[in-house]
Chain A
Amino acid sequence: MAGERLLDVKDLEVSFYTYAGKVHAVRGVSFHVNRGETLAIVGESGCGKTVSVQSTIKLIPMPPGKIEGGTVLFDGKDLTAMSDRDLQSVRGAEIGVIFQDPMTSLNPTMTVGRQITEGLIKHQKLSAEKARQRAIEMLSLVEMPNPRERFRQYPHQFSGGMRQRVMIAIALSCNPKLLIADEPTTGLDVTIQAQILDLMKSLQTRMNTSIILITHDLGVVSKLADRIVVMYAGKVAEAGSSEDIFYDAQHPYTQALLKSVPRLHEEARRDLLAIPGTPPDLFVPPKGCAFAPRCGYAMRVCLDHQPGAFPAGDNHAVACWLMDPRAAHVRDGHAGRAEAAGARGGAS
């Protein structure tokens, strides 16, 4: 079974030490990625999804960031214990990364070709000419027209979608086992988004890469993900297969998140549903469940004690006190109270 898990993150703790104080951004996050599968990590801005994933290969700025606990097992190696030198042979070679904003993630003063060959020459010890051939191959693999000509050009001569293709070419050039896609379509317009997602999907099946997809766009998730991790305020709220999360969500936050997605077949005049209230300030992390102040079902225990992960089926876990057998009756017939609590949360 252990061989099946490519990446296994356990109890990861990450903080940022700023002038204003310590921000506890990731508070004991665990997740894993199996070989060849796509794991989506969803959650609103600032919930710690990017930090959790980028910390695994120490891409967050350190300082002010600091990994304060947990283990990251990648292909049998503990990445947290690795020296920076050893990590360099993992980054780019075994784990590729695509970032959010393709307009700023490429070096403006270096040709696109050179930015692709750089990693190839370093990791695969290719000669300049071999690397050039491989880079042009990669460019045609990401469906770039005129790859030979494009190889010699600079990033400013590319559109946003084209640059994201270049980023994908860079990330996949060394045949990594894992691709981290950090909001890969956020900076692109909708038609281009679809193209990039299709491209990632087809490349994944072709190269048999695992993908971690970080996003807040549930549409993107439904298109690509095999399993989903829902994060809230630096913790995992719910984790499960795509079906579990979309059709059998148990955590009130996940349910609210799904309800807030606008739907085409519903009445056009309906107001968009929003979750009342705001996420907690991680300068002072809450003692109990972080979602409790916004939760319609919040109980006294939620305010004082962190919920553990309750199993809700095979590979489906929910961090919510409602899953405790003693709270089985709470959800039934509490809709009225739930709404009232929701309104209160919105006012605070």
Chain B
Amino acid sequence: MLAALWIIVTATFFLMHSIPGDPFLGDKVTEAIRQNMLRKYGLDKPLWEQYVIYLGNLLRGDFGTSLKMLHRSVNDMIRDGFPVSALLGLEALAYAVTIGLVLGTLAGFRHNTWLDYLAMFVALIGISVPGFIMGGLMQYVIGLKLGWLPIARWEGFRYTIMPAAALGLGTLAVMARMMRTSVLEVTNQDYIKTAKAKGLSQREIVFRHILRNAILPIVTILGPLTAGIVTGSFVIELIFGIPGLGKYYVQSIFNRDYTLILGTTIFYAVLLVFLNFLVDVAYGIVDPRIRLMRSRE
């Protein structure tokens, strides 16, 4: 795990420096001032030396100060921005998981009925229309024309609904489709016939035997899907003017804000590794075949 992180840090560091330009190139300052600023931030040193210094700071948990936002440390920016992004992501994930699973389950059990077709139509839209287009559309229709929800900014729960919905839609669609397939597949398994032969009611069969087995493949893709939601939030935050971490992430690349690029990348990498670990644990809980064997039993 640490090796993976080290590779990410190193690759990001050198890739970032290979982009033409530097943080102060766009500023309207004289060449002398620019050199001074480069020296102040240690950017005049050879690349390998900067790398070693950065790694040293990183080990002490210091991401450095932003090169563009004056006097703000990257640690502070993550501390302020991440809770907002996390809230947005969790809300989006909550919509996607609950609505997606319900939709997929209904579609699976009402296979080839209008309900199934409706659910799959919604899913098709969710998969083919990107979140930022959906976001813009929602701002126009729900926010501007109907006036039901605020168009942008981040000042309370009402403000979170639209961006979270736009962010979660793609994941919702994937969930619904996978759950539908999974329900259909499990329903045709032999052990469902065994359950029926035992004299269980349809209800008991669905809740005790079908759903738990149907949800297994969904848990597996939950990790990558969460990653998708996290990365997707960059654009959504920009559209809806949300002061989250994602917005900084995108801006930092345009600005060549080296410390901010590295800081946010590393932070997200750690987050994803952690999420995947959680998924592995969750998978073990729902599927006894994966569960780690307790020693000596």
Contact = CB atoms under 8 A, between A and B. Distances in A.
B85 to A, nearest CB: 35
Contacts of B195: 107, 118
B288 interface: yes
Contacts, number: 78
A195 interface: no
A108 B198 contact: no
Interface stretch (B86-94, B127-135, B208-216): B208-216
A99 interface: yes
B191 A154 contact: no
Contacts of A154: 288-289
B194 A108 contact: no
Nearest to B201: A88
A57 B288 CA distance: 32
B196 interface: yes
A91 B289 contact: no
A170 interface: yes
Given A101-B190, A108-B191, A92 B288 contact: no
B193 interface: yes
Contact of B287 (A84, A91, A109): A109
B294 to A, nearest CB: 12
B58 interface: no
B197 A104 contact: no
Interface string A140-162: 00000000000000101000000
B193 A105 contact: yes
Interface residues of B, number: 23
A85 B199 CA distance: 9
Contacts of A88: 199-201
A91 B199 contact: yes
Contacts of B209: 107, 110
B198 A91 contact: yes
Contact of A59 (B189, B197, B202): B197
A92 B198 contact: yes
A257 interface: no
Given A93-B199, A97-B197, A122-B200, A108 B190 contact: no
Q: How large is the interface on A (under 10, 10 to 19, 20 to 34, 35 or more residues)?
A: 20 to 34
A108 B209 CA distance: 9
A10 interface: no
Contact of A109 (B193, B194, B212): B212
A123 B199 contact: yes
Contacts of B208: 110, 118
A119 B198 contact: yes
B282 to A, nearest CB: 14
B142 interface: no
A89 interface: yes
Contacts of A99: 190, 193-194, 197
Interface string A39-76: 00000000000000000010100000000000000000
B196 A59 contact: yes
A167 interface: yes
B193 A118 contact: no
B190 A90 contact: no
A89 B193 CA distance: 16
B155 to A, nearest CB: 45
Interface in A77-92: 84-85, 88-92
Contacts of A298: none
Nearest to A108: B289
A106 interface: yes
Contacts of B199: 88-93, 119, 122-123
Contacts of A57: 197
B221 interface: no
A90 B199 CA distance: 7
Contact of B191 (A96, A107, A111): A107
A115 B197 CA distance: 12
Contacts of A104: 189-191
Nearest to A91: B199
B118 interface: no
B204 to A, nearest CB: 8
Interface string A96-133: 11010100111111110001001100110000000000
**4 closest Cβ contacts across the A-B interface?**
A92-B199, A91-B199, A97-B197, A92-B198
Interface of B: 189-191, 193-202, 204, 208-209, 212-213, 216, 286-289
Given A97-B194, A118-B208, 13 more contacts: A57-B197, A59-B196, A88-B199, A88-B200, A91-B198, A91-B199, A104-B189, A105-B190, A106-B191, A107-B191, A108-B289, A109-B216, A110-B209
25 contacts: A84-B202, A85-B201, A93-B199, A99-B194, A99-B197, A101-B190, A104-B190, A105-B194, A108-B287, A108-B289, A109-B213, A109-B286, A110-B209, A111-B288, A118-B200, A118-B208, A119-B199, A122-B198, A122-B199, A122-B204, A123-B199, A156-B288, A170-B194, A170-B198, A171-B197
